[in-house]
A and B are shown apart, each in its own frame.
Chain A
Amino acid sequence: MMFTEPMVSLIAVVRDTDMDRVTQELLSQGVLQFIRVEEIKKKWSEKLEDVDPAVSQARIAEMRKRIEGFLRPLAIPIRMPNELDLKKRKPVDLEDTEKKLNAVAGEVQTVRDKQQKIQQEIMKLENIKQQVGTYGINVSDLLFAGTYSFISIRIGKIKTEGLGDFTKQMEKHPAVTITLKEEKANTHLLLIYMKQDEEEVKQILKEADWSAVEAPDGLEDFKGEIGGDIDKKIDALRSEQRQLAGRADTIIRNRASFLNEFWIQLRVNELYYKIQSNFEKTARTILFSGWLPAKKEWNVQEGVVRVTKGRCYLEWHSPRDLAKEPEITTRAPVKLNNPWFLAPFQMLVTTYGIPEYGTIDPTPAVFITYLIMFGLMFPDVGHGFVIALFGIIGNILFRGKNENFRNLSNLMIYCGATAVLTGVLVGSYFGLPWLKPVWFDFHGILSGHPEKQSLINSIFDVLTISIYFGIAVIEIGFLFNWINLVIKRKWINLLLDKAGLLGVWIYNGGIYVSLYMIHHNYRKLPPFSHLILLLAVPSVLLILKEPLQKTIERKEKLFANLTIFTPVNFLMGWGVELIEIFSGYLSNTLSFFRVAGFGIAHVSLMMAFFQLAGMAGGGRANTPVGIVILLFGNMLVIILEGLSAGVQSLRLNYYEFFTKFFRGSGILYNPVSLTGVSLKRKD
């Protein structure tokens, strides 16, 4: 948990006849992160050729993504492949798969084309309605046909017995047919249609023996009926369009099962060929190389030996062995080994960077420091409860959908719970001191009525807590740095780095000097001998850093490449480093005042809202107006202060803590596996 998982590298040579069995075993184990063989054995590179997998990975991936494109928009879950799918693996026929997917896409497109035709009809009807609505259907307008650029209006009569056929014919076009007058033999009609359909409509009118008649008076009265008729037609068309839209979704849903099966087969094959694309070959053998967790070494050895019936050669190397060879450039990937409940804090760490292999994984430390910082900045039982509640809701909403948002929700649960705890400690319940505080009375301190018996009875005491906390965090950062440097065997850095022994000597010397001055009312410095020992000596010893690195690490002669600027550069470098140490560490430490500051702001803001509520309620906060103000105040504090506390805690961790030891130059461990985790022998 505190360190990255130990890794080991493997070089394997197997018979080419065993290639498929080995591929299957490696995929089943799912623990190997492949590298090129020549990254470890440079001399072999000339004798090796790449293995060309039987099928293009890119094409398989393309098919797979097409299936995802069908299923994901409809939120149809895609099952991940398992061991059984791997056992049932068949070589995939891409041509056949593509044909089947094209057929599905074609069916959907046919539905969309129908929808589009209906949409055109709808737009034409809407246009008729708009034109009639804008220009009306007065007689004078009818005479000036040019008013209507896109529609034609006719008034005429047909034989009543032919009305049914006529109406059926006209329904094939976006048109409105309104009965103006019914007589025994003839029916008078108002006909409105699109000019583009002129020829077809003329034919229909001819067949129906249409004859034009004079427009009657009161034609405007039919505008409402026209609008109603059009609306009815549009509604019917929209309903048909909706049904078609549903049909397009149904086409996919009905095929979800076989699409999922295809996806699984494609995914298994994709991974299979991905493994083979990392193989290299000679005339009769296959070679591959990669990194895996050291605890999986036996599994992989046993598996490869079993499937090759012992016809294999396996060579194992530790990262330390490889680091001794300067021409080997491969670096061990990093696998963070934290329990599930630390996932949100691991997310915070990996957002900053991936720790270097073999160094400390600060996730467990961040779990403690982040929550303490948040709790001290946001101490309230009620507010913490609300934040935790939102976290629980977020956890439920994002489960299985978005891992990052889910982690964020879980982080809110932790922060909320911590805020509840610190709220109990300082006695704050939705801004009110309902119960006696377990630790110190924050409200009492800020309102000028501190508990006299308490050790913490002024703002300065609160600020002191935050400074001591900050010093503790920074010292832990130094400790982590030393541990990392010991692991990496960088002795000069351990001794002479800014965050090495000398740097810490200066830092702690500075703390001693500061505390001494505070205890002597800022009137007295420590004895001169103390200052020399604690500050001057380590500052001078820092001069040795550059010469020692030059001679021991870079193995150069001390006075080699000397120019006139060398001593100047050297002294300036030393001076700048000293300034960085003194001013940087001072600012790092003082940064932690914000922990107290935000806590004070939190309590003060709630006190201010209570006063406002009291003033608005004529001296009592529990009036309707007062309650509204308190509700608003609590919401504002939860959102603004909660966000601020979260962001500031992150900032303090990243900038004040991580900068002491964290080198985010690691590569994340990413093995080729069926589900992204190893299936065999889960620990």
Chain B
Amino acid sequence: MKSPIRTYGFINAKLRARISMLLNEEKIQQLLQARTLNETLGLLRETQYEVVDEVYRRTGDLKLGELELFKIEVGIYEEIARYVEGALLRVVRALLLRYEIDTLKNAIRLFFDRNIRNRSIEDTRYYVYREKILHDISIDDILGANRVEGITEALKQSPYKAIIEANWDSVEKTQSLFALEIAFDRFYYQNILNETAHLSQTDRRVVERLIGVEIDLLNIYWITRYIGFYNISSDRLHTIILPGGHNLSAGTIEDALRAENVAHFLQTLLKSNYPGVSMLLSADTHDNTSRLLLIERLLEQIMIHEVKKTLSGYPFTIGIILSYYLLKRNEVRKIQTILNAKQYELSPDRIKGAMS
């Protein structure tokens, strides 16, 4: 078995250089403060995202520019996959699944809009990523399908066929894709955690921690959103919580669901684990929307806290790959939010509130 230094030496240097090139807070502020979409994209011209500006200047189509953002992310992981092997390659491929699943979700949402909600998807179907990521999936076949059998036929070479077959009844019954999307997320995280079985103990702990925090955040997100907004009963919510969280065990989640004030409960929990960031939750919030936005901002800070902790530790672990993955995704989401908000001419303050 290769030593950690031989395994991670090169990747560590490469990704740390990439991390140093992530947009700093000053640049994000400049993007936020830019008055129009054109001016915002002009600022991206001096960065690694200049292709987004280039596509927009050529076509006037922001969604094509966002597709370029997606391609950039996928390209990075495909590149990392070329430099690793064995168990590490399997984990990197498991991370890549995120993009394939996101693409599949987009395609199925459009199918759903067209066939179940009878909405036109003419203006949106061009913007789904069509190139192969890991499995042979024909997005055009999914978009053009008239029935779910068309989708499962298109996914026959992939593990997603079984997920759709298992959850489609629920989709038809509830007329909502929620259960299916949760099933995809569950598959994604379970797959990553399964692949850690082949890693060293150190690496396994790092993956379980970082991915576990991501699962915690997703679970908190679902709890606050669905109890706060949709008044969904705690019995039903229990079925959608993802296992594998780092701080939130099944028992803790049960307690959260029973709590009268979910936000208060979460604050108490987070204070003990993340004293530095839980002060944000002390802010006085009166309504569910503000509380949710506050919690989402807190979650971002927690993720960054965990990533920084990982980056300041022993460098030759899988933590460098996961940290870069999380930081890069966070950055791309911010840029997407800003660009879309500029297109709709939202003020910088409103955009800041929407960013999580």
Contacts and interface: CB of A to CB of B under 8 A. Distances in A.
A194 interface: yes
Contacts, number: 78
B60 A115 contact: yes
A119 B60 contact: yes
B137 to A, nearest CB: 15
Main secondary structure of the interface of B (DSSP, over half): helix
A123 B38 contact: no
A168 B61 CA distance: 27
A95 to B, nearest CB: 14
A146 interface: yes
Contacts of B33: 62, 65
B146 interface: yes
B140 interface: yes
B60 A114 contact: yes
Nearest to A108: B38
Given A108-B38, A109-B36, A113-B60, A73 B122 contact: no
B144 interface: yes
B59 A119 contact: yes
Contacts of B38: 105, 108-109, 112
A101 B38 CA distance: 12
A130 B141 CA distance: 12
A150 B145 CA distance: 10
A115 B59 contact: yes
B64 A119 contact: yes
A134 B130 CA distance: 15
A116 B60 contact: yes
Contacts of B132: none
A111 B42 contact: no
Contacts of B30: 65
Given A69-B34, A119-B64, A146 B146 contact: yes
A218 to B, nearest CB: 26
A394 to B, nearest CB: 19
B144 to A, nearest CB: 4
A111 B36 contact: no
B35 interface: yes
Given A69-B42, A69-B43, A105 B143 contact: no
A29 to B, nearest CB: 30
B328 to A, nearest CB: 24
Contacts of B249: none
Contact of A73 (B35, B42, B59, B146): B42
Interface string B119-139: 010110110000000000000
Interface string B18-60: 0000000000001001111111001101000000010011111
Nearest to A122: B59
Contacts of A454: none
B144 A149 contact: yes
Given A115-B59, A130-B140, A194 B122 contact: yes
Nearest to B50: A73
Contacts of A127: 126
A405 to B, nearest CB: 14
Interface in A220-276: 241-242, 244-245, 248
Contacts of A114: 60
Interface size class of chain A, counting residues whose CB lies under 8 Å from the partner chain:
35 or more
A245 B126 contact: no
Nearest to B146: A146
Interface string A127-154: 1001100100000000000101110000
Given A69-B34, A69-B42, A70-B39, A150 B144 contact: yes
A149 B113 CA distance: 14
A241 B61 CA distance: 11
A116, A196, A241: which has the most chain B beta carbons within 10 Å? Answer: A116
Nearest to B53: A73
B122 A150 contact: yes
Given A149-B145, A196-B120, A119 B39 contact: no
A263 to B, nearest CB: 14
B269 to A, nearest CB: 40
A517 to B, nearest CB: 39
Nearest to A146: B146
A66 interface: yes
Contact of A245 (B43, B57, B125): B57
Contact of B56 (A62, A112, A194, A242): A112
Interface string B235-257: 00000000000000000000000
Contacts of A69: 34-35, 39, 42-43
A335 B123 CA distance: 59
A566 interface: no
A115 B61 CA distance: 8
Nearest to B126: A123
Contact of B140 (A116, A118, A134, A146): A134
A248 B54 CA distance: 13
Contacts of A117: 60
B146 A149 contact: yes
Contacts of B56: 112
A238 to B, nearest CB: 9
Contacts of B120: 196
A113 B60 CA distance: 6
Nearest to A120: B123
A436 interface: no
B60 A105 contact: no
Contacts of B64: 119
Nearest to B35: A66
Nearest to A69: B39
A244 B33 CA distance: 27
A42 interface: no
Given A69-B34, A70-B39, A194-B122, A245 B140 contact: no
A96 B352 CA distance: 28
A72 interface: yes
B126 A73 contact: no
Contacts of A134: 140
B42 A245 contact: no
B59 A105 contact: no
A116 B59 contact: yes
Q: Report which residue of B30, B33, B57, B59 has the largest number of chain A beta carbons within 10 angstroms of its beta carbon.
A: B59
A536 to B, nearest CB: 43
Contacts of A70: 39, 42
A131 B143 CA distance: 12
Interface string A413-448: 000000000000000000000000000000000000
A133 to B, nearest CB: 11
Nearest to B125: A150
Nearest to B56: A112
B217 to A, nearest CB: 35
Most buried by B among A70, A119, A148: A119
B39 A66 contact: yes
Interface of B: 30, 33-39, 42-43, 45, 53, 56-61, 64, 120, 122-123, 125-126, 140, 143-146
16 contacts: A65-B33, A69-B42, A70-B42, A105-B35, A105-B36, A105-B39, A109-B36, A109-B37, A109-B38, A112-B56, A117-B60, A120-B61, A120-B123, A130-B140, A149-B144, A149-B145
Given A73-B45, A114-B60, A115-B60, 6 more contacts: A69-B34, A105-B35, A108-B38, A118-B59, A131-B140, A194-B122
| Shortest Cβ-Cβ A-B pairs, 4 listed | A115-B60, A149-B144, A116-B60, A112-B60
